[in-house]
Structure 1
Amino acid sequence: MSITTQAYHPSPPDTPPNAGPSNLHPNIYNNIHDEETPPQTAFSILEPPAHLSAITTHTTHIRPLDPDDTFPDGGTRSWLVVLGSFFLLMASYGMMNSTGVLQNYFATHQLANYSTSAVGWIPGLFTFFGLVLSVQIGPMFDRYGPTGILIAGSCCYVAGLLILAECKLYWHFMLTLGVVMGSGAALLSTAAMAAVPQWFDRRVGLAMGWAMSGAGVGGLELEVFAGLGLYPTYVVMQGFSVSTSVILLSILNVFSTIGRLITGVIADKYGRINTQTGLICLGALAIFTIWLPFGHTLPGLYVFSCVFGLASGSFLSLAPALATLICIPIGGEMLEKVGSRAMVAYLGGVLVVALGMFVMARWASLSYRWRWQAKI
């Protein structure tokens, strides 16, 4: 579309006789001139020169702002995305929550000749790949979308799971469970967690809580994976049966699912850092007041599974990838060398350090002024 515009040249005002510049004092003339011609600034509108009095411009069609181009924050399609993410996380992170059962089985069957710390490198590598590759997969999701990522992730994960049943040697487990299934889990979980925020804003905490609850259902999280990975082994070392260890881990995962659902709503209302700080504090209390003094009794383990499950519901998204690689082998080595109580105290100490970091982060976000009621 072409538009021809004509520049507008206003006619000069009538000049009375003897009112020209030669008859005025220079200061008076300058004042008049300053009033008629304001100083040019970055926002001044300049008259185009005479030879540009007739120009032709071409305009392009600009789509008006669509009021529907916002986060749906609900509706059938939005909640179907949450449901899909739920199942993806149930398969990927759910397996991470269950590595303790696998590790205990490997250590008593195919890999019985290896130490607990050596076997611990297998689920540690699986968790490491499942989280560290998310840094590279995230930009791929932004550019290409989820379809190709989900197809590749499903192929890797399903193939690795089928081959895992035939593994007999140590390097078989490292390659199959650690690398292949870890890479598949990274593809699936990254797409699952990146899709939900595309459909929610005001209720994103609630939606992510429902999606992340799939990780807890799949288990029927440095800190979480060490606890979950070594918890069944710890229970067996206290003299209880393998079936009891599986039941306790299942209870922990059930309450972890409930914790994810509740914390999403709480985070939307009171702030995510506030919520996370409170949960870390609850988890540390559960370790030092329940697990450490009463971890040798069955009632104490049942209570700990419930409380720590609720607290650890939102830890997974914050777990640093390097820590997930080394936490289970370190914990396994501590179990063999210094005993179970030292390992429990070590895990509690890690949570205390994390709590201090979150408190410092909240303080810095408030410009180093502490306000108890600030939502952050």
Structure 2
Amino acid sequence: MSSRRQFIETVAKSAIATLIASPLKSGKAATPPILKPARLKPGSIVGIVSPASATFLREELDIVIDVVRGLGMVPKLAPHILDRYGYLGGKDKDRAADINQFFADPKVTAILPMRGGWGCSRILPYLDYQLIRKNPKIIVGFSDITALILGINAKTNLVTFHGPNGLTSWRTKQTDSFRRVLESAETMTFQNLKDDGDESRLMQLKYRQQTITPGRAQGKLIGGNLSVLSGIVGSPYMPDLNGAILFLEEINENIYRIDRLMTHLKIAGVFNKLAGFIFGQCKGCSPDADYGSLTLEEVVWDHIQPLGIPSWYGAMIGHIEPIVTLPIGLDVEIDATAGTIRMLEPAVV
């Protein structure tokens, strides 16, 4: 009996020692370390892809080629760049294959989509995330490209970039933001831009930030187009939003649809996880003609003010010019009174 008791005690002590040495597994995979892509340099090769809507005019591709050359980089065209499958830029697996190919190509430094539109969510299951993680590089875009930059960040922890697509204007301020973040590796502070010229006074009247709840907060920056982001909530392609700073923008939506999308984020538990919130621009989002429509401000305040987190409205982020280049998945600090987003470290190496 004594030896049996000693055996049981020995087994129990061994089990306890094993638990102490090896923490219990939660069933959730550990978050991989943050990955930063290499910076752009003069002569860097930029892969041009069409991951969303189709390009119908060869002239538009020529414009993007000239843009890349104008930046001092070398354009490289994806094999399926001018494919068309209905409104999409080719079949899903082909569009994904172009992105996989450019991540695998050691000569390519950055990947630039032609345009947004629709289609990036469809290719997320076909991307090779192990390949992407082993070959981190710059990928940038906005609008429907939201799904692509969020999906890659969620699956690899690679810092991606909410910024220009190939067919945006590339005016001076937009190009300056792009270069400072991706080429000079600056830790920038973003806020609504102001110009001194008479021709810009109307713009200064238009883009004004309003504080919803004052204060400062730090967290990784996540965000993009509201419709696209809402569409991937609950999927493995949505980054972890615990303690994050979320920014949203939209275009040409009725107010009740904005309300519907934000309500979806609310009841999905997204807003309760956040450390801070920013609402950008909603171009073409006016109240309905019907009597009794809520305003956009009322909808945003209804959803965000009760959270009590630092938040503001009216950031120059969205389908507007210039399009600033914001790092997705990088830690930032926001000031909801000043309306600023401050990078805490460079986004590229």
| TM-score category, normalised to shorter length | under 0.3
Larger radius of gyration: 1
With the length of structure 2 as denominator, give the TM-score of the two structures.
0.24
TM-score computed with the length of structure 1 as normaliser? 0.23
* Bigger proportion of residues as strand: 2
Is the helix fraction higher in 1 or 2?
1
